[in-house]
Structure 1
């Protein structure tokens, strides 16, 4: 008998979550800050026209993001200011964790993924809400691009 109720978390997101959960709370915050420094640069078509990226209203910082489906693969792009490292870290986690997945894999990511990183006592609920907002937008944007 197989369990079909909940799809498995995609490998790269599962690895990111395991990396966080293997650390103490203080070290988890440090890892989040390391992710902030790894936010991928935008491709030129978005860097020259940031209005193509959607503003993430749930974020206190000016964050823009877009999930693009190209050739059956999702690419997640985001911008967040250097002076907002936790927000940048969350954007980077999603950029690294969602990019390369199929649309269905992105749609199957649990809504509570941000809460599963073990950061609920290390960062404010508003910041976690911002990451959830980025994920919700990514899923909606992927859904809108499906045939």
Structure 2
């Protein structure tokens, strides 16, 4: 599996943690999602039950990510935070190389339901589509 270094480090951490600590670390990621700046147009991910909006831009050779997820959906917001922390600034090619099921084997299946995981995969796919269009 080809994932950027920061994403692999996060996945390694999740693999090493017990279930209850995985949930806590995910909540920490949720806190790291800043609101998008004024004027940034976000695209909704309709496959997600929770309102999940994102934008991926390519600037100076790196990917910039913006998300808007309600605070009332902390696990979904955590996924946005994980993507932001792990992929922000990465080369477009590195972001495009992340497989949709990158989380498998890291134990995130213990925290997210299968329906939620499908929505989150759709979010990654939409993000990658935006990167492709930006190139």
Give the shorter-chain TM-score range.
over 0.9
Counterpart check, 1:83 vs 2:72: yes
Report deviation, 1:45: 2.8
1:102 and 2:96 aligned: no
Bigger Rg, structure 1 or 2: 1
CA drift at 1:44? 2.8
CA positional deviation for 1:116:
4.0
Could you tell me whether the CA contact under 8 Å between 2:11 and 2:103 is conserved in 1? no
Q: Superposition RMSD on alpha carbons, in Å? A: 1.4
Report which structure shows greater RCO (CA 8 Å, sep ≥6).
2
Q: What is the TM-score normalised by the length of structure 1? A: 0.85
Could you tell me which runs of 5 or more consecutive residues in structure 1 were left unpaired when the two chains were aligned. 1-5, 47-51
Superposed CA deviations along residues 11-62 of structure 1, whole A, max 9, x for unmatched, are 111111111111011211111111111113322332xxxxx10001121111
- Report if aligned partners of 2:62, 2:89 keep a CA contact under 8 Å in 1: yes
Number of residue equivalences: 135
Q: What is the TM-score when the length of structure 2 is the normalising length?
A: 0.92
- The CA distance in 2 between the partners of 1:75 and 1:40, in whole Å, is 13
